[in-house]
Amino acid sequence: MIVLVPEAVEARLLQGFPEGVEIAFLPKEGPLSEKALQAEFAVAPYGGARRFFAELPNLKELKVVQTLTAGVDWILPYLPPGLVLCDAAGVHDIPVSEWIVAAILSAIKRFPEFRDAQHEQRWAYRWVDDLEGSTVLFLGYGSIARATEERLAPFGVSFLRVARTARPGVHTWAELPELLPKADVIVNLLPYTPQTDKLVGAAQLALMKPGVLFVNAGRGKTVDQEALVEAIRAQRVRLVTDVTAPEPLPEGHPLWSLPEVFLTPHIAGSTPKLFERGFRLVREQVARYLRGEPLLNVVTDGY
């Protein structure tokens, strides 16, 4: 069986595939090799996927596409019917959960504000808050949320969990109106789908506790950006976000300069260990495919 991978993948990550697997490369330029055109399994590039999208109609034997990202909204519109798409759920749990904890603590302790004061050589003494005793609400409760919860538990916080499907300890969207006012920190981990488009809008923002910290590590499009800007301007919401809509954030956008906003350029999962974890999953998936076993993380309904 032939597995297609981006040509930039390090050779050490391509060791340990099951016997009978051949690796073919997706070059940045030039035609695909005859071997590459016969690939049954493909690893989508992590960023810069236009070339991959352009070649998809030529991959007549392709059955499975594996991403190295947890979200798949960027690839779904380009996939021909009949392909199985698998996401990288689990691969980003550690770095993204660490980013979320860092985002919460830095905001609670006002680090961005003090950094600005440092640049101005200004001694900006003020009181700061404790995280202990806070209630953290997760919008979207998957593996990243669980990893974040494990890291936050020692700080003495309590949790509210909301997802599309009810299960023990997890509420549904219908219960948001009664849950939002209870949260001191709201962590958005929603993937982007037609159902989650602007799911957090003016009505939801108005229900949040005044001064709530909203942390977005999901997708920018799940939040009504205009309503969010208005809530920040009204000093009802503080924001730390790794995602925006659009991305990159254009010059002159209010989020660049509004007070109580700190943003990072969609880097929460971008760490050197990403590809080690990602190709560990790829090898497992290829082995499952060859054995005829169910694949992990198969995407249905955009998840």
Whether 297 maps to a domain, the answer reads no
pLDDT over threshold 90, residue 130? yes
* Location of structure tokens 């219960």: 175
**Residue 174: CB partners within 8 Å, gap ≥ 6?**
none
Distance, in Å, from the CA atom of 91 to the CA atom of 178, rounded to the nearest integer, reads 33
Long-range contacts for 18-21 (Cβ within 8 Å, ≥24 apart)?
18/283, 18/286, 18/287, 18/290, 20/290, 21/286, 21/290
**298 pLDDT higher than 90:** yes
* 298 within domain boundaries: no
* pLDDT of 48 strictly over 90: no
Question: What's the whole-number mean pLDDT along residues 90-94?
Answer: 97
Q: How large a percentage of the chain has pLDDT more than 90?
A: 97
Shared domain for 117 and 254, answered yes or no, is yes
Does residue 296 lie in a domain region?
no
Lookup: tokens for 31: 């035609």
At 27-36, the pLDDT tens digits run: 999 999 999 9
Contact between 12 and 275 (Cβ < 8 Å): no
Domain shared by 23 and 158, yes or no: no
pLDDT (average), residues 150-179: 96
Q: Are residues 175 and 200 in the same domain?
A: yes
Domain contains 42: yes
Residues 86 and 101 in one domain: no
Task: Let me know if residue 83 belongs to a domain.
Answer: yes
> Is there a single domain that holds both residue 85 and residue 100?
no
- Could you tell me which residue, 302 or 65, shows the higher pLDDT? 65
Q: Are residues 238 and 102 in the same domain?
A: yes
What's residue 4's pLDDT?
Answer: 98
User: Does pLDDT of 301 surpass 90?
Assistant: no
Cis peptide before 194 (omega within 30 of 0): no
Nearest to 103 by CA among 144, 60, 42, 50: 144
The pLDDT tens digits for 213-259 are: 999 999 999 999 999 999 999 999 999 999 999 999 999 999 999 99
Q: Examine residue 303 and state whether it is found in any structural domain, yes or no.
A: no
92 token code pair: 């980003």
Q: What is the mean pLDDT of residues 270-274?
A: 93
Distance CA 265, CA 251 (A): 13
Structure confidence at residue 188 (pLDDT): 98
70 and 260 Cβ atoms separated by less than 8 Å: no
Q: Which domain holds residue 229?
A: 93-263
Please determine, for residue 136, whether its predicted confidence score (pLDDT) is greater than 90: yes
* pLDDT score, position 176: 96
Please name which of 148, 128, 130 lies closest in space to residue 138, comparing C-alpha atoms. Answer: 148
Give me the pLDDT at residue 303, please.
78
DSSP 8-state assignment for residue 106: H
Contact call for residues 224 and 198 (beta carbons, < 8 A) = yes
Query: Given this model, what pLDDT does residue 302 score?
Result: 76
| Together in a domain, 56 and 143 | no
Domain presence at residue 246: yes
Split at pLDDT 50, 70, 90, the class of 105 is very high
**Angle of helix 93-108 versus helix 143-152 axis, rounded to 10:** 50
Q: Measured at the alpha carbon of residue 35, what is the angle toward residues 34 and 39, in degrees to the nearest 5?
A: 120
Q: State whether 159 and 256 are in the same domain.
A: yes
Q: Tell me whether residue 299 is in a domain.
A: no
Q: Same structural domain for residues 81 and 103?
A: no
Q: Do 214 and 280 have their domain in common? A: no
State the DSSP code for 192: P
CATH number (domain holding residue 14): 3.40.50.720
Query: Are 109 and 55 spatial neighbours (Cβ–Cβ below 8 Å)?
Result: no
Residues 187, 101, single domain; the answer is yes
* pLDDT mean over 59-80: 96
- pLDDT reported for residue 9: 95
Q: What is the mean pLDDT of residues 194-214?
A: 97
Confidence check: pLDDT of 177 > 90: yes
Domains of the chain: total: 2
Mean of the pLDDT values across residues 133-144?
Answer: 97
Residues 70 and 152 in one domain: no
> CA dist 225 to 30, 59, 183, 242, 297, Å?
40, 38, 20, 14, 30
